[in-house]
Structure 1
Amino acid sequence: MTQQTAEERPGIAAAIVVNDGRVLMVRRRISEGQLSWQFPAGEIEPGESPEQAAIRETAEETGLSVTAIKLLGERVHPKTGRLMSYTACEVVSGTAEVIDTEELDQLAWVALSEIPEYVPYGLYEPVQVHLEAALADD
């Protein structure tokens, strides 16, 4: 049996959803190591762009309709080895709630100062820079 590399497995698209001075975070039922709290995210499906996947995953997991503003960056995640893309999004409509109860057990709107409590190992630099700018008015 051969192990798949990051290039062979579908990439993961994460949505960085900012609304009313806070960013949306979800808690997975099954954590990936330290990764229990994270941004709405999931595998990019064939024919989908990272931005489209981020929008779809946010709707599937939280019921929130969002639009992509811009792709913030991509990297191989240091903890999971998966190719990750991060898309800045804004809310179009809806109220965030746990829709995908098989994957998620909780969600939270998190202020910039609270992020280290949820993500103690720090954020990917382009995401951190985006959130500092987007949540600066907090």
Structure 2
Amino acid sequence: MIAVAVIVHAGRVLLIRRSAPAASLPWTFPSGKMEPGETAGEAATREALEEAGVVVEPVSLLGERVHPVTGWPVAYVSCQLVSGTAHAASPREVAEVRWVRLREIPELVPGGLFVPVQAYLDESLSS
């Protein structure tokens, strides 16, 4: 299972550009494989720190699905920023990080977002 950290702060959401994109997905949320015994919230928190250098707190599970492009099982977790300045904390994995506004997401993620994640962002972000 892949855990995804959906981090909203100051009217924007954090996206990362992978050094080696999975399939046709150069821009994604901080994410990675859950380790044995980890909850989705714990894994999302760990991945946010490892990939983007930010400390977050998991808030709620937004939903789960099998990703239509990668075929991987994915759990999406809304997270609250606690501390840190977002940066490419793992240059081997992450080429760039960016806080983006809602209106910027379609150009960075042209395939669209998982419906529950999009609904959460529509509610949480002001454009």
With the length of structure 1 as denominator, give the TM-score of the two structures: 0.90
CA shift digits 1:46-99 (9 cap, x unpaired): 000001000000001111000011000000001011000000011001111111
Matched, 1:21 2:11: yes
| Aligned: 1:42 with 2:17 | no
Q: Which runs of 5+ in 1 are unaligned?
A: 1-10
How much is the aligned-residue C-alpha RMSD, in angstroms? 0.6
Q: Which among 64, 70, 75 is matched to residue 80 of structure 1?
A: 70
Residue type matched to 2:73 in 1? L
In structure 2, distance between residues paired with 1:59 and 1:35: 21
When Rg is computed on C-alpha atoms for both structures, the one with the higher figure is: 1
Report the 3-state secondary structure (helix = DSSP H, G, I; strand = E; otherwise coil) of the residue aligned with 2:74.
strand
Tell me the percent identity: 48
Determine which of 55, 59, 64 is the counterpart of 2:54: 64
How far did 1:33 drift?
1.9
Deviations 1:96-130 (A, max 9, x none): 11110100100100100000011000000000000
| Match among 103, 110, 130 for residue 120 of structure 2 | 130
Shift of 1:16: 0.3
Residue 31 of structure 1 deviates from its aligned partner by 1.1
Equivalent position amino acid for 2:115 in 1: E
Which contiguous aligned blocks of 4+ residues in structure 1 show a shift greater than 2 angstroms? none
The residue that corresponds to 1:93 in the other structure is: 83
| Gapped regions of structure 2 (runs ≥ 5) | none
TM-score by length of 2: 0.98
SS at match of 2:13: strand
**Number of residues paired by the alignment?**
127
Amino acid in the other structure paired with 2:8: V
Q: 2:98 aligns with which of 81, 103, 108?
A: 108
